[in-house]
Structure 1
């Protein structure tokens, strides 16, 4: 493939060959995608419009929502097109682009969740210094570090993967271009790349999880020291949305590191991918909005504005 990558194409086998099941999958993914984009876009608009949502917490939430839209848009629309047209062919260049963007957005989400846990740590453990520590410059630097770290991690294995040769099958046993099924159909020696992918994945998972766990260890210790039950409840409620999102994100990824049989491995990977690219981005805006009074109030005010404008 070194000399003719532009002429090479792959076939994405998808989730199923059953036409009726494909219709159900198409409807389900279309609805979840629309809800995901609408919900996350609403959070972005709210955090941009309302001044009381311009703290560090909502700045991170704004960036997280943007990542969710980008992540799901890198995977789901192409699959919906494939189901609706029956065209499962994808060019080599398009496959590499999808692989790069899905990993870039996905890995950055893990680092952003770690940054958000640090924000919650400062808010609860050092409330008097919160505005000083988590100022706009610090928040921008944390976002920048998330992106730079992600690129430093994903670019080495991706650049090595560009030299792979595919001389036998071009059928990818997935509905997106993913590293694992692509390495399986390569006739090159992929041992080193596979080990690099595993090391990078585990490193991202462990490092960000340790940051989250350490932050919440200090948070829990601080909450338990509060004098009244009302203070403890209020402090915990500021972290509850983030805890739920972290649980969904890390919980789904645990299945990837469980070593199933070869027969079930692809089925589990597809299920995890559906969860992370479709269901999770749809749920996250509802989790943050339903458990946050300020976001709910801002959303109600925005709806009232639209109603008044439509009447006029």
Structure 2
């Protein structure tokens, strides 16, 4: 395909995950199962945290919003990726590409700061338990999730509008399985210095500030736990933040691996593997981590299933 101005183009071609025909059907089946487990797990978490009276606490309030963000960015990417496994040409319209990028950025940035809010919640619960209900009031919790949603909406619209207001030229092939910033930037023929600087500053701010809140919270948590004289008390304190710490390590570890790897080893194939992990696998793992490690969630699930069975039996 020769170079030509694509300012008025109406679609892109996604390279997808693999170009090997024999892998299309197995990968479609695998990712369909992963996505369905993610949808069921996160929808279940959202419903449980809304419906069960015993889960009406700040920790589960944040857990419900974590499930919303997981479901949001996996759905922004997953269905289109699955469709591309079974169609002849992996195309995506210009408008849908912009929409996909905007929603992906909105939910992935929101998740960073919701994880930070959950870290702060665990810090207050362990280090200042007597004032926990006062500090983590319903109003405070609402503000701690509203600000990330508003901020991430602003950032996602800013980046998406700036990218799609520039001129595309050359090949219209996106070297990825969804519309992401870096693959789209490689297709631009306009001056990209400004948008690259904006993305770099915002990405650095989002990652560093949210991670700093997490690190400071857990340093204070660990210091407080180590001061406890009882081994049973230390174990109980660690267990209250074990699930969240596991989620944080997996999520931030993947992002740091993807964005902070040396340029010499950086490749779009490596990005694809990391992207599959944090767009599909992590949203599937998060509900499992919280349900398997949390007795309240397991009991709430058992009660919900029991009520459902009784309803069907009576009918």
TM-score under structure 1 length normalisation: 0.95
- 1:259 aligned residue (262, 272, 275): 262
- 1:188 aligned residue (184, 187, 190): 190
1:114 aligns with 2:116: yes
Mapping of 1:150-229 within 5 angstroms?
A: 150-229=152-231
Aligned match of 1:86? 88
**Equivalenced residues, count:** 310
Mapping of 1:76-155 within 5 angstroms?
A: 76-155=78-157
Change (3 A) 1:197 1:43: same
Q: How many angstroms apart in 2 are the aligned matches of 1:188 and 1:202?
A: 24
- After TM superposition, give the deviation of residue 32 of structure 1 in Å: 0.5
- After TM superposition, give the deviation of residue 254 of structure 1 in Å: 1.2
Unaligned runs of 5+ in 2: none
Q: Is the 8 A contact 1:2 1:164 kept in 2?
A: no
Q: How many angstroms apart in 2 are the aligned matches of 1:86 and 1:287?
A: 37
Unaligned runs of 5+ in 1: none
Q: How many angstroms apart in 2 are the aligned matches of 1:248 and 1:259?
A: 20
- 2:232 aligned residue (230, 233, 242): 230
Aligned match of 1:277? 279
- After TM superposition, give the deviation of residue 8 of structure 1 in Å: 2.3
- After TM superposition, give the deviation of residue 3 of structure 1 in Å: 10
Q: How many angstroms apart in 2 are the aligned matches of 1:156 and 1:45?
A: 32
Q: Is the 8 A contact 2:226 2:234 kept in 1?
A: yes
Change (3 A) 1:296 1:15: same
- After TM superposition, give the deviation of residue 135 of structure 1 in Å: 0.9
Q: How many angstroms apart in 1 are the aligned matches of 2:152 and 2:5?
A: 26
Larger mean CA deviation between 196-205 and 227-236 belongs to 196-205
Paired residue secondary structure (1:185): coil
Q: How many angstroms apart in 2 are the aligned matches of 1:279 and 1:248?
A: 10
| Structure 1 vs Structure 2 CA RMSD | 1.7
